């Protein structure tokens, strides 16, 4: 579960960095059209362009450099989609499945830490209240993923610029870099960053102060993280008549 959870969370982060159309979303979008949607996704653990396999029409995002060997968990998304198609055919998008799975997987794996800091599951879900109503992209672009997503070898200026291009502040860039709790930040303070790009957040630069705050204050991290993920989830989704609701997350309808 830990491997899957990290992968889904990372996928969603990448997806939301690649949005294209602004629109309104709602946390109760499926309340009448598919009431079982959220519980179905939770039971298993953006525009979903990252889910599309390569085909003769395009080379997709799965094998792009920043995603290679990092984006996994596709089979779990397939299973969730199959179940939802049997309950509510053609209703729940793959993009919304990813968005909810990102939140629920963080809750599932991070819950021991959350409870330790007196943050219960219901409170965490309320902090990160996923907005729904996305539709799925009908194409994907390896080139876009390569150009828009910073690599694990990026310096701080590149990281901040990539997120700033999507409307994120330096503070928000720091907070969405952590996954389940503030251990990530404590490791960086101890100079134990896994990737070069991680350690750049605490390396004598402009983000040192914010990172130190999160390393010392878990409650502040949880609150800011939830707010940043809600913002990320609202970045330029496909809605209304744009895109489609895929029946198979790995390919566009009719392909």
d(CA 82, CA 80): 5
- State the pLDDT at residue 215: 95
Q: Around Cβ 163, how many Cβ atoms within 10 Å?
A: 20
- The first and second tokens of residue 183, run together, are 């251990």
Quote the distance between the C-alpha of residue 185 and its chain's center.
Answer: 19
- The first and second tokens of residue 156, run together, are 């701080």
Give per-residue pLDDT as tens, 54-102. Answer: 556 545 444 544 444 444 567 888 889 999 999 999 999 998 998 888 7
d(CA 111, CA 181): 9
Is 30 among the domain residues?
no
What is the model's pTM? Answer: 0.72
In degrees and rounded to multiples of 5, residue 135 shows phi and psi of: -115, 170
Q: Which residue has the tokens 């291009």?
A: 165
Tally of domains within the chain: 1
Known binding residue 96? Answer is no
d(CA 32, CA 228): 28
Known binding residue 12? Answer is no
Is 26 among the domain residues?
no
Is 116 among the domain residues?
yes
Q: Identify the band that residue 129 occupies on the pLDDT scale cut at 50, 70 and 90.
A: confident
* DSSP H/E element including 156: helix 156-164
Judge contact between 250 and 78, C-beta under 8 A: yes
Known binding residue 150? Answer is yes
Is 253 among the domain residues?
no
Known binding residue 181? Answer is yes
Give per-residue pLDDT as tens, 190-230. Answer: 999 989 999 999 999 999 999 999 999 988 888 888 888 88
Is 243 among the domain residues?
no
Q: What is the dihedral of CA 134, 136, 137, 138, to 10 degrees?
A: -150
Is 11 among the domain residues?
no
- For 205, counting Cβ atoms within 10 Å of its Cβ (0-12 exposed, 13-18 middle, 19+ buried), the class is middle
Is 13 among the domain residues?
no
- The DSSP code for 135 is B
Q: In sequence order, what E strands does the chain have? A: none
Give residue 175's domain range.
37-233
Known binding residue 82? Answer is no
Is 1 among the domain residues?
no
């Amino acid at each position: 579960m830990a491997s899957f959870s990290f992968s889904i969370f990372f996928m969603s982060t990448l997806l939301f960095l690649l949005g294209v159309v602004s629109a309104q979303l709602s946390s109760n979008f499926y309340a009448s059209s598919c009431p079982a949607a959220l519980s179905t996704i939770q039971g298993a653990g953006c525009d979903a362009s990252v889910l599309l396999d390569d085909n003769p029409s395009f080379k997709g995002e799965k094998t792009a450099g920043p995603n290679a060997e990092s984006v996994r968990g596709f089979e779990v998304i397939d299973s969730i989609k199959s179940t939802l198609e049997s309950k509510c055919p053609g209703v729940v998008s793959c993009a919304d499945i990813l968005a909810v799975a990102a939140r629920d997987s963080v809750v599932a794996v991070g819950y021991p830490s959350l409870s330790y800091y007196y943050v219960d599951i219901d409170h965490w879900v309320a902090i990160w209240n996923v907005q729904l109503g996305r539709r799925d992209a009908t194409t994907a672009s390896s080139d876009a993923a390569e150009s828009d997503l910073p690599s694990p070898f990026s310096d701080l200026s590149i990281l901040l610029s990539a997120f700033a291009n999507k409307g994120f502040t330096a503070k928000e860039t720091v907070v969405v870099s952590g996954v389940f709790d503030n251990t990530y930040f404590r490791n960086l303070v101890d100079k134990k960053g896994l990737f070069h790009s991680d350690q750049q957040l605490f390396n004598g630069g402009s983000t040192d102060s914010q990172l130190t705050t999160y390393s010392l204050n878990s409650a502040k991290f949880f609150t800011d993280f939830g707010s940043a993920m809600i913002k990320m989830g609202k970045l330029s989704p496909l809605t209304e008549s744009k895109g489609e609701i895929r029946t198979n997350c790995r390919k566009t309808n009719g392909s």
